[in-house]
Amino acid sequence: MIKTDILIIGAGAVGCAIARELTKYCVKVLVVDKNEDVGGLASRANSAIIHTGFDAPPDTLESELVATANPMYEKLCMDMEIPFAKIGAILPAFTDEQFKMLPAIKKKAFNNRVYDVEYLTAEQLLAMEPNLNPDVKAGLYIPREYIIDPFLLVVAYAENAQSNGASFLLGTKVTGMKVDNNKIQSVITTGEEIIASYVINAAGLFNDEIAAMAGKNNYSINPRKGQFHILDKNTNCKVNHIILPIPTKLTKGKLMCPTIHGNMLLGPTAEDITDKEDTSVDRPGLSSVEEDVRHLIPNANLKDTITQYAGLRANRNPEGLHVDTYDDVKNYVNLSGIRSTGLTASAALGKYVAQTLIKIGMPVEFNTKFTYIRKSIPCFREMSHEEQDKLIKKNPLYGKVICRCETVTEGEIIDAIQRPIPARSMDAIKRRLRPGAGRCQGGFCAPRITEILAKELRLSAEEINKNMSGSHMITGKIRN
């Protein structure tokens, strides 16, 4: 049996951000997640954008959190060495109907306290984005829409939380709760039973199932699938900004934008499905991305696609982002309806949930030893030749390139395995360092990374997983 002051269920962006914020107080924090690594599900597969909230529903908790979180990211990314770029977004109108919608979208942005949205002419937009559809009539410029590495954000939250005293219990599924005397007395998992003074449900797509264990499932979470294309870095048609379509009631639409690492990202779809683990892609969905993005950027070259993927958003029914507490379950905080703006909102949600816990009784004693600084793994490909030479002299394994597409070295891979939140699978290495994310998609480096993981973890190569338990990279030997 484990005892803790605060138990957070879910190690996605929101759960890890809350954990980091709570380590600013003198409380014992434990994060539990059924996955083998931090990152959740939605936090691993999204548009990688830090939003302003210009198009959020006005006067809602979502718009408040996103607008508040956006300015936090510059310092947050500097403190924790997270890749981050201020590229801005444009929202072009191509039809008379879309053109007539621009004033209402700008007014909505002002209602959400995003005052720096500007109207631009067709000439101004084409000067900013030469590959834009020449039929553009006008548009809006949203300068504070940024791009980030979403998984490194989650890893940084988690590592900084861990260095400040939080604990992580991964590969452990919550299966039940004991509720008595208006409190959660304990949480049952596939590992040990956990006793916590406060329980926070940040389980994303599975939030409603955890809420049902506390008797608070008066809503449902329905997955909404978004399919994406990723284009090679050398594609002949690129954009400089996030190119946003005019949003609809269902979706923000299919966009095209650079990634923080130089690829082009196209998507997503918005498909309501029932299976919370269905991250498959299909021809109709991917074709719809191509068709819609070509209305924005006619010359987008989909032949340069190197991979596709799908993410699932936690669509709440009834809708709305909620942070709820209850009189009849006094030590429980329930977070639901965190969808496409959840990555952005995570920075503010950490602070909001901390204040919520204080309101329901969490003691306030500040951790005077809290450190904001988290050092990243040295990125060999981004160093000067002088810096690379210096690093190789210090650790010769940084001179051994394992992934040719992304120039990832053995030294970086071993560092990732030995971090406070260790990378223990092929995908965990890929998300932190990008081997396997280039043109060959791991065709060259995957066997070598499997060997490194096996050696460092003291396992056989047959025991190394792609991601979840049982997803073996090697299924057996064809000869002795």
The residues annotated as belonging to the active site are: 51
Task: Give dist(CA 53, CA 50) in Å, integer.
Answer: 9
Q: What is the DSSP letter of 398?
A: G
Q: Which of 196, 190, 229, 192 minimizes the C-alpha distance to 214?
A: 196
SS3 for 283? helix
Backbone angles phi, psi at 336, to 5 degrees: -140, 160
CB under 8 Å to 310, separation ≥6 — which residues?
Answer: 45, 225, 226, 227, 228, 268, 278, 279, 280, 281, 285
Structure tokens at 380: 């060999």
Report whether the peptide linkage leading into residue 318 is cis, meaning its omega lies within 30 degrees of zero: yes
Structure tokens at 389: 């030479």
SS3 for 455? helix
Task: Give dist(CA 108, CA 381) in Å, integer.
Answer: 42
Give strand pairing partners of 312: 225
Backbone angles phi, psi at 219, to 5 degrees: -160, 175
The H-or-E segment that residue 84 falls in is strand 84-85
Sheet holding 84-85, edge to edge: 49-50, 146-148, 84-85
Q: Which of 194, 164, 213, 190 minimizes the C-alpha distance to 8?
A: 194
Report whether the peptide linkage leading into residue 103 is cis, meaning its omega lies within 30 degrees of zero: no
Q: What is the DSSP letter of 57?
A: P
Q: How many CB atoms lie within 10 A of CB 279?
A: 17
In the numeric block, the tokens 């329905």 are attached to 222
SS3 for 305? strand
CB under 8 Å to 311, separation ≥6 — which residues?
Answer: 41, 42, 44, 45, 46, 225, 226, 228, 268, 279
CB under 8 Å to 393, separation ≥6 — which residues?
Answer: none
Task: Give dist(CA 127, CA 129) in Å, integer.
Answer: 6
Q: Which of 50, 141, 45 minimizes the C-alpha distance to 90?
A: 141
